[in-house]
Amino acid sequence: MPDKREAQRTEANYFLQFSVAGRGRYGVGHALDHSESGMSFRTDQPLVQGSYLTIRVPVQSGRTGMLTCLASVIRCLTLPDGSGYKVGCAYD
């Protein structure tokens, strides 16, 4: 099945933190790729499609800080080896 996303995806390799809106649930993940419209990351927690996330990424340019964005979960798939989940999300 061809990929219908229009935004070009770029490989990513960085850690992130996320929180699920309205759930008080926090987690960590590892970014796999990103584009101007969304990203995918690996995590050990299943996330429900349609959930809203606040994603925080450490920024190391000049001074230490966090880049924060809002996103909605588009898909959450179990990894083939069963070691976690691959989450696809779209930026809001």
Handedness of CA 3, 57, 31, 83 (dihedral sign): negative
Inside any domain, residue 35: yes
Chain-centroid distance, C-alpha 67: 13
Domain that holds residue 78: 10-51+67-91
Inside any domain, residue 60: no
Inside any domain, residue 22: yes
Query: Which residue matches tokens 């927690």?
Result: 45
Residue 61: the pLDDT is 64
Q: How confident is the model at residue 92 (pLDDT cuts 50, 70, 90)?
A: confident
- pTM for the model: 0.85
Inside any domain, residue 4: no
Inside any domain, residue 82: yes
Inside any domain, residue 3: no
19: domain CATH number is: 2.40.10.220
